Structure 1
Amino acid sequence: MKKLSLRAMPALAAILLVAMLATGCGSSGNEGPAANRTDSEKLKVGFVYIGPINDAGWTQAHDEARDYLMAELPYVDASDYVENVPENPTEAERVITQLAEQGNKIIFTTSFGYMDPTIKVAKKYPDVTFLHCSGYETAPNVGAYFGRMYQARYLSGLVAGKATETNLIGYVAAMPIPEVIRGINAFTLGVQKVNPDAQVKVVWTNTWVDAAIEKDAALALLDSGADVIAQHQDSASPQQAAEEKGKLGIGYNSDMGKMAPKATMTSPVWNWGPYYVDTVKAIKEGTWQSTPTAGSLTYWGGLKEGTVDLAPYGPMVPEEVKQLVEQEEQLIISGEWDVFTGPIKDQSGNVKVAEGEVLTDDEMLNMNWFVQGVIGSPK
């Protein structure tokens, strides 16, 4: 894999321009950005990452999908990526611009805080297609994509609710934004489906990945009486904290049972590879459109599409719990039922979703309240 430096490479841009002129490449009026490629050219695809590619979490899941993309589509060169790019508008804009200048015709920006810089850079490069993960703004050459992780969160809540003996589950949470709030709520609904007496206590870290802070938060939750630790964080340190204390956990992003085998019962995981392949194909063929199809998102796939799933269970998970999860999963996949189906109350006991009603995609994507059973503030 080729890891890019954070320095601009104007010479490469010049070489690419000469090569384009020599081969007669040009934009076709009927084709979308990046569709105008010759058979002998590689379609360059770039990636911007919030963390390192070996974080065993969010970034690693995207990077494994990048490798999958190149394996599935031989005409794609997705070797350009930049790790550890902060959600600082100036720095993110510079890196995204760099990738565009280096000839990448499709650029995936894979963290929420890259949304505004992505939109800004896209205006300067109308012949480049940009895909932003977890945001909500689109443009003619910018799509917004995400996965219905709340579905896998709900399933993992079933596992956690069956496992807790103290009826207090700790949740180490990154940022108080709808994505994270939605996941906490779905997890709690799963917990309370099987254990109405259990509660989920949330601690905000205000960081996506900081192993030390995450571990401290998990230890504080364990000290307060929690005997299961769940997380919306990129490192496995909350699971490792649970293991050190002889407790159990629910990981996130990838199979964290590999890092904390005695604690981690399962992990809601991402599988971005098929989405990346389908999207790059559509862009190349000129059929891709940025038009939102689910709320404000161009793409929002879930269990049915395989975008989200559960990692293999640890040996401590009973067979009857696995069977229950399988039943609930099939119910979701069938479309007969989804997680945010009423009746659902908020923390104050107010009915937020009436019996028989289901939250719309827009309502889920803008969620800013906690369900009953969550301890903590959604702010």
Structure 2
Amino acid sequence: MPAPRPDLIIVGGGLAGGLAALAASRATPDRSVTVIEPGPIGGNHLWSFFGSDIAGDHRALLDPLVAHSWSGYDVRFPGHRRHLPQPYSTIESEALDRAVRASGAMIVAGRAEHMTPTSVGLSDGTTIHGAAVLDARGLTAPPQGLSCGWQKFVGRAIDVPSGHGVDQPVVMNATVDQRDGYRFIYLLPLSRTRVFVEDTYYSESPELDQAALGRRIDDYARASGWKGAVATREERGVLPVVTGGDFDRFWPANDGVARAGVRAGLFHPLTSYSLPDAVRFAHWLATQAPSGDRLGAATRAYARAHWRRGRFDRMLARMLMKAAEPAQRYRVLERFYRLPAPLIERFYAGQTTLADRVRILAGRPPVSIARAIKAIMEPA
């Protein structure tokens, strides 16, 4: 007998694909969902979010996945330090994997070679047919139709037997050497003796020297006096920082396959931050999106609306990547973190108001005025 056709096939089991599968399965228990992913759902990642990023009626999707929470976080720059009393939480990819498998979604360990709006061909020659296909894979570099810089990172969870002394998350510690672009250390105190350390920097190229960033983390651990420190997990990533582009080239109108996550451009152009958009999209998919072959056009319209809303943030990304010298880019963020806390919260959530945008641009920019004007005037 032929295999039953799932109602939804999700290609890619990262953050966006995993949350979409979880939301769709929970909202309509009789909806059959298949996820095609060669590895564990979520891969090997920690994802964090601010309390104001997620709407109250969307928290039910994330709350069971939260592994760590804090009452606030710190930022550190050469000329400015600040504590922000904003709740901050982290989820682990292992929790997302367990939740998706427990939801009843079918997991297929395979790699997609080609797809149509209703079928997926796998590398082993198998073809899976369904009522709708959702492409939730990551972006290739460079992505078609987008002008990008890149945010690159390596992160390690480190056990420090005597304790690491970090009390609150440090979302940005830019007091470190500014090499090859805006660079900062990100810290998450997972317990008294376990800390997650990520070395991140903004650069023009997508190439990542994982070994070099690993050495930087080792140097930071030694400088922090963490004796006997041992790394227990490592993750890495290369994320686009979008400075401009053409949505119709990025997602041509004749491409009828539905998309989700970064594949649909659903992330913050400047920070590359995708969790809030992944949650919003998963909720929309589960409660409002059409089913069947209408899903492709609906997700494209959803993504186009998001692209339009991101015009201001793409301009800020140009200011960072093009108006500032690489070693001076930290000044843009240092100035930003002097702004009111509610504005900062709305910025990360991708919900800045007109008044926020005026406030962000007010005053003398911490970069060349001529280069700033040129960056502002470029197409977004």
Give the TM-score, by structure 2 length: 0.34
Give the TM-score, by structure 1 length: 0.34
Larger RCO (alpha carbons 8 Å, 6+ apart): 2
- Which of the pair is proportionally richer in strand? 2
